[in-house]
Structures are given as C-alpha cells and as structure tokens.
Amino acid sequence: MKILTKLILILLLTSIFLLTVIYTAVQWSFDRGMLDYVNKRELASLQLLSKNLARYYQQEKDWSPLIKTNKSRRPPPRKHDLLAPPQNQLEKFGPSRTWHQIVKFSDNGIELPADVAQYLRENGEPKSKNRKPPRFSGPPHQPKPRTKQQKPPPPSDRLQHPSLLNAQKEILIGKFHKDFSLQSIQLNGIVIGYLALPPKTKLTDAFDLAFLAKTKADLFYIVLVLFLVIIIIAVPISNHFVMPIKYLEKAMRALNSGDFKANINVRGNDELASLSLNFNDLAKTLEQNENSRNTWLANISHELRTPIAIIKGEIEAIQDGIRALDFDSLSSLNDEVNHLHKLVNDLSTLSNAEIGAMRYQKSSLSLSEIVKLNVIRHNHQACDLDITLHQNIANSELKIFADKTRINQLIDNLINNSLKYTQAPGAIYLSLTKQSSQAVLIISDTLPGVSDDALPKLFEHLYRVESSRNRKTGGSGLGLALCKKIMSAHQGTIEALHSEHGGLQIRCTFPLLN
C-alpha cells in the first residue's frame, strides 16, 4: 500500500473516530439537557398549585386539615376553598366542575386530570395577581353525564403526582425521595412547605420525542457534511506531504542507476527538506568518490606502467644487442625494480590503512627521542644533498601513546619529502614543542613553495605538484597520504601550510599522556 493511500486512510479513520465520539457526546449531552428541561418545565407548572396551597395555609394556619382530608378521602368542608383557581381558569375545565372535583388527594400525591395538567403547563401562573379566589356557596354541582365516553389521555400527557412536604421537608401527602425536584411554597417570603415532583428518567411526551428525533437527525447530517469536508481536505493535504517523498524516490532511483547528477529542488525547512539536502550532499559525495576512484585507477595504472615499460624496453634493447649486458644496464634495471617495489609496498600499506587492516601496537613513547634519532639518521643524506638540518626539540619529556614503528615511518616520510623537494643549497627546520595538552611537531623547508590551491591536495593519493614533483625527484605520491592515515590512527592532526622560509610546512599534533 502506498504512503498516500495510508495517509488518507489514517486521516479518514481518525476523523470517523473523532466525529463518532463528538456525535455520541453531543447526543448524550442533549438527551440529558432535554430531560432536565422537561423536569424543570414540569416543576414550573406547579407554581399555580403552590400559590393556591399558600392561600389555603394562610386561611388554616396549618396543614392539618389538608392531611385529615387526605385520610378521610373527602374534600375539606370549607365554604371558602382557597385551593380553587380563579373563576376564569376554573371555567376552562367546565362550568359545573369545582376545584374539589379537579384536585384529588391520594397516597401517591396531588393528582391533576390530564386537561388541567396540560393547561397548567401551557399557561402557568395567571397574569392578574390581584384576582381573589371566588367564594362557593352551597353544595358542589355534580357534572353532567357525558354522552360520549372519553378515552384516558396517553401517559405522555399526564402530569406526575406531586407530593406535599412541610417546611422541614417531612412528608405530608404522597412520597418523597432525595432525587425529587422541590418547588417551595412561600407565604410572605417565608417557606411554609414544598411540592416534590419525581424526576422523569426518560422522555414520554410526543412533542418532546419528535423534537429530540429531529435534532438528532440534524446532528447526523451535520456530522456527515463535516466528514465529506474532511475527505475533500484530506486528499490534497496528503498529496502535499507525499510529493517530496515521490521526488526523493525518483532521485534515488536515478542515483542507484549511476546518475550522480541527480538533484532535488529543496523547499521549506522541515524534516523532508533536511532529508533532501542530505540526499543532494550524498549525490555530490558519491560523484566525488567516483571521480577519485577513476583518478586513482588512472594514476596507479600510470605509475605501474612507467617502470614496467622502462624495464621491458631495456631488456628488449639488451636482447637486440643495442645495449650491452653490463653493470650499468643491470643497475638501471635494479633502480626501476626498486622503484616498482616501493610503489607496490606503499600501495599495499595505504590500502591496509584505508580498510583498517594496518595493525598498531601502541605503548608509551618519548616523542622527543624518536625525533632526535630520525634527525641523526638523515644527517648524512642531507649533507650529500647540500641541505642543512636544524632542530629545536623541547627539553621536557613528551610522552605519547603510539606505535613506535608507525611514528618512525611518519617522521621518515616527512623528512624524506622535504629532502626530495628542497632545492640545494637549502635547509630543513624541525621543531617539537608542547602546547597545552598536545605535542606539536613542525617540519618546514626552503624553496620551492607550494601554491594555495595545491596545499589541501597534498594528502591525496598520487598527487604531485607539477612544477617541482616528478618520478625522478619525487616519489610515488603516496607518502603524505600514508602520513595522514597514521596521524588519524593516533587521534592526531596533520596539515600543510606555507613555510616562513619560503617552502612547505607540515604541522602535526599529538595528544599527550597525562
């Protein structure tokens, strides 16, 4: 599966999960909120009953008559019933119905008929506050028999039975639990009792259920539209993130096929841009390594072909009788064989250093003693070439952890390099000093010098400065490259600089033992 497909699927699956969680949470929250709203609405519908009960309490000064009435299952024998609503509201339920016939007290609580409960929910408290309850005289009128039997209202239209509590929240009529909603009954700002209404645990009203269903449907369509918008946005965003990877893949295929010119146009500064920059650097490095390898093979072929061609030519001349087989011809052949042998040895040593196969047996050495012995060993050769060796070696013992054979090889190569290229009469200056925690060995000579462009290339394989180095005066061009490998194996550094005496200066630094 491609990265683009994976990225789109991840975004879509994540979006589906989040939208599902949001939809479920909003739906649950709305259901709870709707249920709370219905309970508060039912509780608010008891305000008129609360006011009428307050008037009753004002007349009786106590709840006892109401409690007795509840036990005897008879309406209170009072002429002025303050539980009755205003006459204009009572007429809503029929002119022949009295409040005693409307409000029923039972063990379950204060029961209201369905039409009264619906009217209270719709109208609530009457607008006129100065209206006094009507006075009733005579026995209550019996309702006229209805010719057509009415069906009981559905459960969704019935108001739950409220219970009556005193000011101390003790049960007077009905039942009470801690989860009941309370509507206070106040008289002149003092709480004289409570109406308790059991909360609904689910919606039963048809209007509420229809409103809830419509809201859920609207929420579902909103979530569906959001999901479609996410799909429209996810595809171009995923493609935007995948395009740099596609460019990188294309460039990598070109590089793998040998096209080292492959390059990526870097945009931005994120991780993919950094990866593209590293790829471009890798392509340049591989191109340089390929050029170096080709140059190395060409130089090796040239260096090996030259002595072999000379040896072959001299042997053919001897065979043809052009040159006599004497001591001079044998000496010439021996020189070419020695040069070829040294070149092969240097190549072998340098190859071992490249692959890490050169062995080092390190121990604590006195660098001062090694430098002094090498100066003494090369004094005779320097005198023959009319070159003077000058030395400035620190008096203190400079101890390093190194391989004695390789350090002698290093110093021998550096001194021989100066002896081969310094013009006679000339001079070579050696100095060994201590700087901080390092030992610094400097070998500098007199003319000829080296150009600025040639300085960093002196440690490359088979490199020669054309104006001063050739096969007769110079070597194979591997000596300084080998010196760099030896210094690297000893955690030291080596660099080529311009000498203050007009020639070349080689500076080597060694870490000292504590």
pLDDT tens for the chain, residues 1 to 514: 777 788 888 888 998 999 999 988 988 888 888 888 887 877 777 777 888 888 888 887 878 777 765 555 444 434 334 344 444 444 444 444 444 445 555 555 566 666 556 655 555 444 444 444 444 344 444 455 554 444 544 444 445 678 888 888 888 888 888 878 888 888 888 888 888 888 877 777 777 788 888 888 888 899 899 989 988 888 888 888 888 888 888 888 888 888 888 888 887 787 888 888 888 888 888 888 788 777 777 777 777 787 888 888 888 888 888 888 888 888 888 888 887 887 787 777 777 766 665 678 899 999 999 999 999 999 999 999 999 999 998 777 889 999 998 999 899 989 988 998 899 899 999 999 998 889 999 999 998 888 888 888 888 877 766 544 444 555 566 788 889 989 998 999 999 999 999 999 999 999 998 7
In a domain, 467, yes or no: yes
Q: Same domain for 380 and 507?
A: yes
Provide CB contacts within 8 A for 343, sequence distance 6+. Answer: 303, 304, 307, 476, 478
Number of H helices, E strands in the chain: 12, 13
In a domain, 507, yes or no: yes
Last residue of a domain, one of 313, 332, 355: 355
In a domain, 123, yes or no: yes
For 27-39, b where at least 16 C-beta lie within 10 A, e where not — what string? eeeeeeebbeebb
Q: Same domain for 436 and 412?
A: yes
d(CA 161, CA 116): 13
In a domain, 143, yes or no: no
Give the global pTM: 0.47
Q: Same domain for 186 and 58?
A: yes
CA dihedral over 67, 73, 78, 83, signed as positive or negative: positive
Q: Same domain for 468 and 385?
A: yes
Last residue of a domain, one of 215, 247, 279: 247
Closest CA to 493 of 506, 504, 505: 506
For the chain, the domain total comes to 4
pLDDT at 204: 73
CATH number, residue 494: 3.30.565.10
The neighbour count for residue 161, using CB atoms within 10 Å, is: 20
d(CA 36, CA 30): 10
End-to-end alpha-carbon separation of the chain, Å? 59
In a domain, 149, yes or no: no
In a domain, 132, yes or no: no
Q: How far is CA 423 from CA 72, 386, 446, 459, 497, in A?
A: 141, 9, 7, 21, 18
pLDDT at 136: 39
- Torsion angle of the four alpha carbons 207, 212, 217, 223, in this order, in degrees rounded to the nearest 10: 160
Q: Same domain for 377 and 455?
A: yes
Q: Same domain for 385 and 337?
A: no
Q: Same domain for 451 and 497?
A: yes
Residue at 509: amino acid letter = T
Q: Is 63 exposed, middle or buried (0-12, 13-18, 19+ CB in 10 A)?
A: buried
Q: Same domain for 401 and 459?
A: yes
The neighbour count for residue 118, using CB atoms within 10 Å, is: 16
Q: Same domain for 328 and 381?
A: no
Q: Same domain for 390 and 471?
A: yes
For the chain, give the longest Cα–Cα distance. Answer: 169
Closest CA to 427 of 399, 388, 478, 462: 388
How much helix, strand and coil, in percent to the nearest 5, is found in the chain?
50, 15, 35
If you search the block for the tokens 């509420």, which residue do you land on? 208
Q: Same domain for 106 and 234?
A: no
Q: How far is CA 5 from CA 9, 239, 245, in A?
A: 6, 9, 14
d(CA 464, CA 478): 10
Q: Same domain for 197 and 212?
A: no
Which structural domain, as residue segments, surrounds residue 283? 271-355
Query: Tokens in use for 74?
Result: 């008879």
Last residue of a domain, one of 355, 370, 399: 355
pLDDT at 115: 59
Q: Are 118 and 98 in contact (CB under 8 A)?
A: no
pLDDT at 103: 57
In a domain, 466, yes or no: yes
In a domain, 255, yes or no: no
